[in-house]
A = this chain, B = another copy of it.
Amino acid sequence: MKALLIVAHGSRREASNEEVRALTRDLAKAAGDAFDHVDCAFLELADPSIPDGIQHCIDAGADQVVVVPYFLSAGRHVTEDIPAQVALKQAEHPDVDIRIAAYIGSAPGIADLLLDTARPTWRA
Contact = CB atoms under 8 A, between A and B. Distances in A.
B27 A114 contact: yes
Interface of A: 2, 4, 6, 8, 11, 13, 15-16, 19-20, 23, 26-27, 29-31, 34-35, 64, 66, 68, 70-76, 99-107, 109-122, 124
A115 B30 contact: yes
A2 B119 CA distance: 11
A91 to B, nearest CB: 20
B75 A111 contact: no
The 3 nearest A-B residue pairs measured at CB:
A16-B73, A101-B121, A26-B111
B30 A111 contact: yes
B121 A31 contact: no
